[in-house]
Amino acid sequence: MSTDSGGREVKRNKKRKAVVQLSDCSDEDEEVKYAPYFKKNHIRSYPENSPGTIFPVYIQSTNENIKFGNKDPVYLNNIFSRYNKGVKEIKRLNALRYTVIFDNAKNANSLLANSTFLASHEIKAFIPASTSECIGVIKFIPTDLSCKHLFDKLISSQEIFAVRRFTKRTPEGIVPLQTVSITFAGNILPEHVNYGLCVVPVEQYIKPVIQCYKCMGFGHTTKFCKRNIVCSICSESHSFKDCSNTDKPLCITCKGEHVAVARTCPVKQQKIIENRNKIMNRNTLGSYFPTLNKSFAKATSSRPQQMQYTSNISKEKNVLPDVINNDKILKAIIDTFLMFCSKDNSLPINSASIKEMFIKNITHSHNG
């Protein structure tokens, strides 16, 4: 993963942080040492304890030349209502795909396993990464450790699907950095991972801003661009390779005196902030109720003295007086927990269901 592609930049603090001292147990060849490592034979699916109330699955034709997004909606309604359980609705995503929304993780995963149904209608199905996975970043990891070695050694409360090391392009070639990204199952980021006795904090990965190097616009890549070419240096209608105004840069986006791909461009800076806000807003409240993947609970519970979770609430002590002195918030919290403690209640206990019920109760209290 290259920082040139817009990956999260490693900031240098005034006080130099100590690098985690990990032994080098890697003996891979240099050529594959820094290559991203993925779980073998991994097919993306929703974990059994996935939080949420909607579970989308993308479908498209097995024939790349067919625009499945233009399919007859009556036809789709008939085949999915007859042969698939738990379908809440079907929405057109784009010219190539539809989104089938299920009511729970099990029903969503069953569509992927229904090979007979998919083959008979010449369609393929897959689960979007944005709803079934999340990416975190760990720092100060020695560069002599390969991605495969980290994949084998890291322990997490959530299953790890992939490990990638950030790299930097230099005149001497690609240089590995001490920052590593980890792809986890589910959409709630764990607070840390374990390497032996070391507890390594996990930070949120902020996706890079996508910029087209043909028209210099944002939100799409050159491969799918249908606009006219724009020089990234002078903003004229030619390639930057043919530019003769290299001493007078002009950004096509903000009209500033810099090249259009400059990270300092105020428009690009705003896009970066928007990306960060999207991630933070999606994780609001979710991290207050961490959910353990059942298949990994045994591994993590065997080291209780090493796996000390720190609640986000304890880090925000200044909000406690506001909570304690607010009768509506207290009532909503009490009602929520009473609802989950009820013997006759079959609600799943996970971060999403607790969050959903809390919001419902607090909204009811406010309206009341």
Q: Residue 43: what are its φ and ψ, rounded to 5°? A: -115, 120
Structure tokens at 332: 């909503």
pLDDT at 2 (0 to 100) = 43
Residue-level length of the chain: 368
- DSSP 8-state code for residue 229: P
From the list 7, 334, 298, 361, the residue with the least C-alpha distance to 166 is: 7
pLDDT at 279 (0 to 100) = 67
pLDDT at 360 (0 to 100) = 67
Classify 55-126 by CATH class.
Answer: alpha beta
Half-sphere exposure of 210 (CA within 13 A, CB side): 8
Query: Looking up tokens 């003769």, which residue turns up?
Result: 244
Structure tokens at 324: 């304690």
Write the burial class of residue 344 (CB in 10 Å: 0-12 exposed, 13-18 middle, 19+ buried): exposed
pLDDT at 361 (0 to 100) = 65
Question: Which residue(s) pair with 138 in the sheet?
Answer: 180
Amino acid at the residue 79: I
In contact, 125 and 188? CB cutoff 8 Å: no
Q: Where are the domains of the chain?
A: 3-40+132-204, 55-126, 209-284, 291-367
Low-confidence ranges of the chain (pLDDT < 50): 2-27, 283-317, 343-344
What SS3 state is found at 56? strand
pLDDT tens by residue, 311-361: 444 444 455 556 556 666 766 676 666 665 654 455 555 556 666 666 666
pLDDT tens by residue, 215-257: 999 989 998 899 999 999 999 999 999 999 889 899 999 999 9
pLDDT at 304 (0 to 100) = 41
In contact, 207 and 275? CB cutoff 8 Å: yes
Q: What is the pTM of this model?
A: 0.59
Structure tokens at 98: 């539809």
pLDDT at 121 (0 to 100) = 92
